[in-house]
Structure 1
Amino acid sequence: MEEHHMADARTDKPSSTEEEYFAREEIEKKRKLALEQAAASAAQQREELKKLHWMKCPKCGMDLQTLKQGNVEIETCFNCHGIFLDAGELDQLVAQHGHEGSGKVMGAILNLFKKK
Protein backbone atom coordinates (compact mmCIF):
# COMPACT_ATOMS: atom_id res chain seq x y z
CA MET A 1 0.00 0.00 0.00
CA GLU A 2 2.87 2.33 0.67
CA GLU A 3 4.11 1.90 -2.87
CA HIS A 4 0.73 2.96 -4.24
CA HIS A 5 0.74 6.08 -2.03
CA MET A 6 4.27 6.98 -3.19
CA ALA A 7 3.25 6.56 -6.80
CA ASP A 8 0.38 9.04 -6.27
CA ALA A 9 2.79 11.57 -4.76
CA ARG A 10 5.04 11.33 -7.78
CA THR A 11 2.21 11.92 -10.23
CA ASP A 12 1.18 15.13 -8.42
CA LYS A 13 4.68 16.55 -8.78
CA PRO A 14 5.04 19.05 -11.66
CA SER A 15 7.07 17.84 -14.59
CA SER A 16 10.49 19.31 -15.22
CA THR A 17 9.01 21.15 -18.22
CA GLU A 18 6.45 22.86 -15.98
CA GLU A 19 9.15 23.76 -13.44
CA GLU A 20 11.26 25.31 -16.18
CA TYR A 21 8.27 27.28 -17.45
CA PHE A 22 7.46 28.72 -14.01
CA ALA A 23 11.14 29.45 -13.37
CA ARG A 24 11.36 31.35 -16.68
CA GLU A 25 8.15 33.25 -15.82
CA GLU A 26 9.58 34.24 -12.43
CA ILE A 27 12.87 35.35 -13.99
CA GLU A 28 11.01 37.42 -16.60
CA LYS A 29 8.90 39.14 -13.90
CA LYS A 30 12.03 40.01 -11.92
CA ARG A 31 13.82 41.24 -15.07
CA LYS A 32 10.88 43.50 -15.98
CA LEU A 33 10.72 44.86 -12.42
CA ALA A 34 14.46 45.63 -12.49
CA LEU A 35 14.09 47.44 -15.85
CA GLU A 36 11.14 49.47 -14.53
CA GLN A 37 13.10 50.42 -11.40
CA ALA A 38 16.12 51.45 -13.51
CA ALA A 39 13.92 53.59 -15.78
CA ALA A 40 12.26 55.26 -12.79
CA SER A 41 15.65 55.93 -11.22
CA ALA A 42 17.03 57.38 -14.47
CA ALA A 43 13.98 59.63 -14.83
CA GLN A 44 14.39 60.82 -11.25
CA GLN A 45 18.10 61.53 -11.82
CA ARG A 46 17.31 63.50 -15.02
CA GLU A 47 14.73 65.55 -13.09
CA GLU A 48 17.22 66.25 -10.29
CA LEU A 49 19.90 67.29 -12.80
CA LYS A 50 17.43 69.54 -14.58
CA LYS A 51 16.55 71.28 -11.30
CA LEU A 52 20.23 71.61 -10.41
CA HIS A 53 21.25 73.09 -13.79
CA TRP A 54 18.07 74.93 -14.81
CA MET A 55 18.95 78.35 -16.24
CA LYS A 56 22.63 77.97 -15.30
CA CYS A 57 25.39 78.76 -17.77
CA PRO A 58 26.97 75.54 -19.07
CA LYS A 59 30.36 77.31 -19.31
CA CYS A 60 30.71 79.12 -15.97
CA GLY A 61 27.70 78.04 -13.90
CA MET A 62 26.28 81.52 -13.31
CA ASP A 63 22.59 82.33 -13.78
CA LEU A 64 21.35 82.79 -17.33
CA GLN A 65 19.13 85.75 -18.16
CA THR A 66 16.42 85.61 -20.80
CA LEU A 67 16.23 88.34 -23.44
CA LYS A 68 13.51 88.52 -26.09
CA GLN A 69 14.40 89.00 -29.74
CA GLY A 70 11.11 89.07 -31.60
CA ASN A 71 9.32 85.88 -30.61
CA VAL A 72 12.57 84.11 -29.62
CA GLU A 73 13.84 83.95 -26.07
CA ILE A 74 17.63 84.02 -25.97
CA GLU A 75 19.43 82.96 -22.81
CA THR A 76 22.61 84.87 -22.08
CA CYS A 77 25.23 84.83 -19.37
CA PHE A 78 26.40 88.29 -18.38
CA ASN A 79 29.40 86.75 -16.60
CA CYS A 80 31.13 84.94 -19.51
CA HIS A 81 28.99 86.56 -22.26
CA GLY A 82 27.75 83.20 -23.58
CA ILE A 83 24.64 83.16 -25.75
CA PHE A 84 22.43 80.08 -25.75
CA LEU A 85 19.52 79.15 -28.00
CA ASP A 86 17.04 76.32 -27.67
CA ALA A 87 16.53 73.89 -30.55
CA GLY A 88 15.01 75.65 -33.56
CA GLU A 89 15.52 79.18 -32.25
CA LEU A 90 18.44 79.98 -34.57
CA ASP A 91 16.21 79.11 -37.53
CA GLN A 92 13.53 81.41 -36.13
CA LEU A 93 16.04 84.26 -35.77
CA VAL A 94 17.26 83.75 -39.33
CA ALA A 95 13.63 83.71 -40.55
CA GLN A 96 12.90 86.97 -38.69
CA HIS A 97 15.97 88.71 -40.14
CA GLY A 98 16.46 86.61 -43.29
CA HIS A 99 15.87 89.48 -45.69
CA GLU A 100 19.04 91.16 -44.40
CA GLY A 101 21.36 88.26 -45.23
CA SER A 102 22.94 85.81 -42.83
CA GLY A 103 25.98 87.99 -42.02
CA LYS A 104 23.75 90.86 -40.96
CA VAL A 105 21.58 88.48 -38.92
CA MET A 106 24.52 87.24 -36.92
CA GLY A 107 25.84 90.78 -36.57
CA ALA A 108 22.48 91.94 -35.23
CA ILE A 109 22.39 89.07 -32.74
CA LEU A 110 25.94 89.71 -31.57
CA ASN A 111 25.23 93.44 -31.22
CA LEU A 112 22.61 92.57 -28.60
CA PHE A 113 25.31 91.20 -26.34
CA LYS A 114 28.30 93.47 -26.87
CA LYS A 115 29.98 94.77 -23.75
CA LYS A 116 28.98 98.31 -22.99
Structure 2
Amino acid sequence: MPVDPSNAEEEYFKREEIHKLRKTRAVANAELAEEAKVTAKKTHWMRCPKCGMELTEIEFRGVQVDNCFSCGGMFLDAGEAEKILEFEEPSALNKMFGYLVGKS
Protein backbone atom coordinates (compact mmCIF):
# COMPACT_ATOMS: atom_id res chain seq x y z
CA MET A 1 0.00 0.00 0.00
CA PRO A 2 1.54 3.35 -1.07
CA VAL A 3 2.28 5.84 1.66
CA ASP A 4 1.34 9.48 1.16
CA PRO A 5 4.18 11.87 1.86
CA SER A 6 3.74 13.94 4.95
CA ASN A 7 3.13 17.67 4.79
CA ALA A 8 6.64 18.30 6.08
CA GLU A 9 8.16 16.38 3.16
CA GLU A 10 6.00 18.22 0.64
CA GLU A 11 6.96 21.55 2.17
CA TYR A 12 10.65 20.62 2.09
CA PHE A 13 10.60 19.71 -1.60
CA LYS A 14 8.57 22.81 -2.48
CA ARG A 15 11.14 24.99 -0.69
CA GLU A 16 13.98 23.21 -2.49
CA GLU A 17 12.28 23.73 -5.85
CA ILE A 18 11.67 27.41 -5.11
CA HIS A 19 15.31 27.80 -4.06
CA LYS A 20 16.48 26.23 -7.35
CA LEU A 21 14.16 28.46 -9.38
CA ARG A 22 15.38 31.60 -7.60
CA LYS A 23 19.00 30.61 -8.16
CA THR A 24 18.36 29.94 -11.85
CA ARG A 25 16.53 33.26 -12.19
CA ALA A 26 19.38 35.14 -10.48
CA VAL A 27 21.91 33.65 -12.91
CA ALA A 28 19.69 34.50 -15.89
CA ASN A 29 19.24 38.08 -14.62
CA ALA A 30 22.99 38.48 -14.18
CA GLU A 31 23.57 37.26 -17.75
CA LEU A 32 20.95 39.69 -19.08
CA ALA A 33 22.52 42.57 -17.17
CA GLU A 34 25.95 41.73 -18.62
CA GLU A 35 24.50 41.56 -22.14
CA ALA A 36 22.84 44.95 -21.64
CA LYS A 37 26.14 46.40 -20.44
CA VAL A 38 28.00 45.09 -23.51
CA THR A 39 25.27 46.37 -25.84
CA ALA A 40 25.32 49.82 -24.23
CA LYS A 41 29.10 50.00 -24.56
CA LYS A 42 28.92 49.05 -28.26
CA THR A 43 26.21 51.65 -28.84
CA HIS A 44 28.06 54.51 -27.14
CA TRP A 45 31.71 53.62 -27.85
CA MET A 46 33.54 56.55 -29.46
CA ARG A 47 30.35 58.63 -29.67
CA CYS A 48 30.20 62.27 -28.63
CA PRO A 49 28.42 62.66 -25.28
CA LYS A 50 27.09 66.03 -26.44
CA CYS A 51 25.70 65.39 -29.92
CA GLY A 52 26.04 61.62 -30.41
CA MET A 53 28.17 61.82 -33.55
CA GLU A 54 31.27 59.68 -34.05
CA LEU A 55 34.46 60.74 -32.28
CA THR A 56 37.82 60.74 -34.04
CA GLU A 57 41.14 60.40 -32.26
CA ILE A 58 43.58 63.23 -32.97
CA GLU A 59 47.01 63.92 -31.55
CA PHE A 60 47.25 67.00 -29.34
CA ARG A 61 50.60 67.73 -27.69
CA GLY A 62 51.63 64.11 -27.93
CA VAL A 63 48.37 62.77 -26.50
CA GLN A 64 45.60 60.98 -28.40
CA VAL A 65 42.38 62.88 -27.59
CA ASP A 66 38.86 62.23 -28.83
CA ASN A 67 37.50 65.00 -31.06
CA CYS A 68 34.00 65.55 -32.42
CA PHE A 69 34.10 67.29 -35.79
CA SER A 70 30.33 67.84 -35.62
CA CYS A 71 30.06 70.00 -32.47
CA GLY A 72 33.77 70.71 -31.92
CA GLY A 73 33.91 68.90 -28.58
CA MET A 74 37.25 67.60 -27.33
CA PHE A 75 37.22 64.77 -24.80
CA LEU A 76 40.01 63.38 -22.66
CA ASP A 77 40.41 59.95 -21.11
CA ALA A 78 41.71 59.49 -17.57
CA GLY A 79 45.25 60.82 -17.20
CA GLU A 80 45.37 62.64 -20.54
CA ALA A 81 44.95 66.13 -19.05
CA GLU A 82 47.96 65.52 -16.80
CA LYS A 83 50.03 64.44 -19.82
CA ILE A 84 49.08 67.62 -21.68
CA LEU A 85 50.09 69.68 -18.63
CA GLU A 86 53.61 68.21 -18.77
CA PHE A 87 54.44 70.62 -21.60
CA GLU A 88 56.42 73.58 -20.31
CA GLU A 89 54.63 76.16 -22.46
CA PRO A 90 52.62 78.51 -20.22
CA SER A 91 49.30 79.14 -21.94
CA ALA A 92 45.67 79.76 -21.20
CA LEU A 93 44.95 76.17 -22.24
CA ASN A 94 47.50 74.82 -19.76
CA LYS A 95 45.96 76.98 -17.04
CA MET A 96 42.52 75.63 -17.89
CA PHE A 97 43.71 72.01 -17.80
CA GLY A 98 45.51 72.72 -14.53
CA TYR A 99 42.30 74.06 -13.05
CA LEU A 100 40.34 71.02 -14.28
CA VAL A 101 42.72 68.50 -12.72
CA GLY A 102 43.20 70.52 -9.53
CA LYS A 103 46.74 71.76 -10.15
CA SER A 104 46.05 75.50 -10.18
Normalised TM-score (structure 1): 0.63
How many residue pairs get aligned? The number is 97
Shift >6 Å, 4+ stretches: none
Distance, in Å, in 1 between the alignment partners of 2:42 and 2:63 is 23
In terms of fraction of residues, the more helix-rich structure is 1
Q: CA deviation at 1:26?
A: 1.1
Distance, in Å, in 2 between the alignment partners of 1:82 and 1:23 is 59
Counterpart of 1:89 in structure 2 is 80
**Comparing both chains, which one has the higher relative contact order based on Cα–Cα distances under 8 Å and sequence gaps of 6 or more?**
2
Counterpart of 1:58 in structure 2 is 49
Counterpart of 1:14 in structure 2 is 5
Normalised TM-score (structure 2): 0.69
Structure 1 residue 43 corresponds to structure 2 residue 31: no
Counterpart of 1:112 in structure 2 is none
Q: CA deviation at 1:70?
A: 5.4
CA RMSD of aligned residues (A): 2.8
Give 5+ residue unaligned stretches, structure 1: 109-116
**Percent identity at matched positions?**
42
